[in-house]
A and B are shown apart, each in its own frame.
Chain A
């Protein structure tokens, strides 16, 4: 009977073993790995570099003659003759307006940096939701039932999905941030490596919330289709109804309400502040409070629902 005593299933051991399994699987699947990196890279490359908002105003794009003739009557009706405006000065003026507009609306001097951080948010959403939904595969392949027949604590199964989401999201964000840096992302002068910890914290909060709610959502399904449709249904609006691509204050009022409720907005803002902007402590605090609340609520609901299902 000694065998009975010696096996004492522990939450930590089970959690680590299950998480290690997923990470090993993931790392041994180079195709998926490359896809997950490539996708945001493509977005960054095409969208981030093609929508070059600065260039709209920049001097290289608008060819302006040195002197621009304007009929005097256009300016002040009784005035006769031609008034000459200095083209170079005008150009400079517009160029300054361009940078100013960029700065005041986007908060950074170039759109690529702005967009690259948005991509990090996108990848976090993808990774976290996928991680939750991957339970469907475990079920389908009989792995979940096998695990359920062992004495491993049920919470270990749930937490392994969440931990897996966090670790993957961190890894991918780090890779994307580095790639973006190589491609020309401009870190703010106030950026230090400590800020990265803040970035990881924000990422973890969103990962926890999304992976646990998606886990609960898909734990009953035996087919991948339904959760996948749901993911594609919500990820696009979630991204566009946020500050991922575009600043909030240029959006119509009704949309702003949606955007301000969207956790992605706070995630993206927090990461931007910690990397490419001069951080605003108050705004950063708001971001983190919102994200913490988001994570707490979704995780609680998600974990309870999943746990209920696993223990029936």
Chain B
């Protein structure tokens, strides 16, 4: 059996001869893992998924999915993958059941087999009660769950999820993560997903590739990536107008301290334990902490670390803006 279920070699996509959406990326995904692409709007996540799922043809480079060449053996690739696109593609006017049976037909799954699987999947994503209701009446979370079920109707070996929780509220997002984990365990699949939420990558992924301007700038497990950031960030201010950098530095677990004349920016491991120690150390020397703010590493900081600049406010193209709007609107439906 292949242990490397996806391999990309210098995969590149250039739009309109000038826009390099994906720029010579190489990576491999191991069997059974959840592999995440993390990056801001326009980074090239969707474009990568579209190439791997044979919807777009790469401009350059090669990739293999379950050992099949995505260009030369596209039809073999299509049989072994399941895809949940960024957009909500289920038909509003049809029922959940009709939608999933449509997916089954596209894979040529015999009707009786499809029916059995559909019921099983509805059960798994807890939509059984709603399967004969029109999708129009579904909430954003229910729609995502339906999409997940549709994507699994052909029992894929690899499941591609493009921003599976885009536009959902935090609670629903956490619930969707749960479903994704459950589906993965139930069906023993490898998952390739994209997201621009750090927490999501953190919660779900075994390994993350950070992608920016079409390039992979870092690739590792979430904890390793965060560790390279040097841990959490504690921001504090004291009443006295004296530089206490050295005192702070002497506290255990503090990695780095920067003082800009007003506040101290402290990099520290396990911030929630280190922060009280810092306060205590300062108090013992007679200083009073007036403000303290603890932040966990965010996408911004990972970015800052790997790209040398803050996560840019990408200017979305009109097209992707509209797509996002449609997706968001449907996510927030009901």
Q: Which residues of A contact B (CB under 8 A)?
A: 3-4, 6-10, 13-14, 16-18, 20-21, 24-25, 28-29, 140-143, 145-152, 222, 312
B89 pairs with A151, CB closer than 8 A: no
Produce 1/0 per residue, B301-333, CB < 8 A to A: 000000000000000000100110010000000
**Given contacts A10-B108, A140-B323, is CB(A24)–CB(B89) below 8 Å?**
no
Q: What are 23 A-B pairs with beta-carbon distances under 8 A?
A: A3-B155, A7-B79, A9-B106, A14-B108, A24-B98, A25-B93, A28-B93, A141-B87, A141-B88, A143-B91, A145-B85, A145-B89, A146-B89, A148-B55, A149-B53, A149-B55, A149-B81, A149-B83, A150-B83, A151-B78, A151-B107, A152-B106, A312-B56
Q: Which residues of B contact A (CB under 8 A)?
A: 50, 53-57, 75, 78-81, 83, 85-89, 91, 93-94, 98, 101-103, 105-110, 113, 134, 154-155, 160, 319, 322-323, 326
Most central of B50, B78, B106, B326 by chain A CB within 10 Å: B106
Residues of A within 8 A of B102 (CB): 17-18, 20-21
Shortest Cβ distance from B78 into A: residue: A151
**Given contacts A21-B91, A25-B91, is CB(A150)–CB(B85) below 8 Å?**
no
B54 pairs with A16, CB closer than 8 A: no
Residues of A within 8 A of B56 (CB): 312
A14 pairs with B105, CB closer than 8 A: yes
Shortest Cβ distance from A26 into B: residue: B93
Shortest Cβ distance from A14 into B: residue: B106
A17 pairs with B106, CB closer than 8 A: yes
**Given contacts A150-B78, A151-B108, is CB(A7)–CB(B154) below 8 Å?**
yes
- Dominant SS at the A interface? helix
How far is A13 from B110 in the complex, measured between Cα atoms in Å?
Answer: 10
How far is A63 from B55 in the complex, measured between Cα atoms in Å?
Answer: 73
B55 pairs with A145, CB closer than 8 A: yes
Residues of A within 8 A of B155 (CB): 3
Residues of A within 8 A of B109 (CB): 6-7
- In the complex, how many angstroms separate the beta carbon of B80 from the nearest chain A beta carbon? 7
B106 pairs with A29, CB closer than 8 A: no
Most central of B80, B88, B93 by chain A CB within 10 Å: B93
Q: Out of A3, A29, A143, name the residue touching B89 (CB < 8 Å).
A: A143
- In the complex, how many angstroms separate the beta carbon of B320 from the nearest chain A beta carbon? 10
**Given contacts A141-B326, A142-B87, A149-B54, is CB(A7)–CB(B93) below 8 Å?**
no
How far is A20 from B101 in the complex, measured between Cα atoms in Å?
Answer: 11
A150 pairs with B86, CB closer than 8 A: no
Residues of B within 8 A of A142 (CB): 85-89, 323
- In the complex, how many angstroms separate the beta carbon of B16 from the nearest chain A beta carbon? 12
Shortest Cβ distance from B157 into A: residue: A3
Shortest Cβ distance from B319 into A: residue: A222
How far is A150 from B93 in the complex, measured between Cα atoms in Å?
Answer: 21
Residues of B within 8 A of A148 (CB): 54-55
How far is A29 from B155 in the complex, measured between Cα atoms in Å?
Answer: 33
- In the complex, how many angstroms separate the beta carbon of B163 from the nearest chain A beta carbon? 12
Residues of B within 8 A of A7 (CB): 79, 107-109, 154
Q: Out of A8, A29, A147, name the residue touching B108 (CB < 8 Å).
A: A8
How far is A285 from B108 in the complex, measured between Cα atoms in Å?
Answer: 41
Contacts A9-B108, A149-B85 given; 9 further ones with Cβ under 8 A? A4-B80, A6-B109, A7-B79, A142-B88, A145-B55, A146-B83, A146-B89, A147-B106, A152-B105
Q: Out of B88, B105, B154, name the residue touching A13 (CB < 8 Å).
A: B105
Residues of B within 8 A of A222 (CB): 319
Most central of A18, A140, A141, A147 by chain B CB within 10 Å: A141
Residues of A within 8 A of B105 (CB): 13-14, 16-17, 152
Q: Out of B91, B101, B106, name the residue touching A150 (CB < 8 Å).
A: B106
- In the complex, how many angstroms separate the beta carbon of B138 from the nearest chain A beta carbon? 15
Residues of B within 8 A of A9 (CB): 79, 106-108
- In the complex, how many angstroms separate the beta carbon of A59 from the nearest chain B beta carbon? 54
How far is A151 from B83 in the complex, measured between Cα atoms in Å?
Answer: 12
- In the complex, how many angstroms separate the beta carbon of A8 from the nearest chain B beta carbon? 5
Residues of A within 8 A of B322 (CB): 140
How far is A115 from B176 in the complex, measured between Cα atoms in Å?
Answer: 58
How far is A17 from B102 in the complex, measured between Cα atoms in Å?
Answer: 6
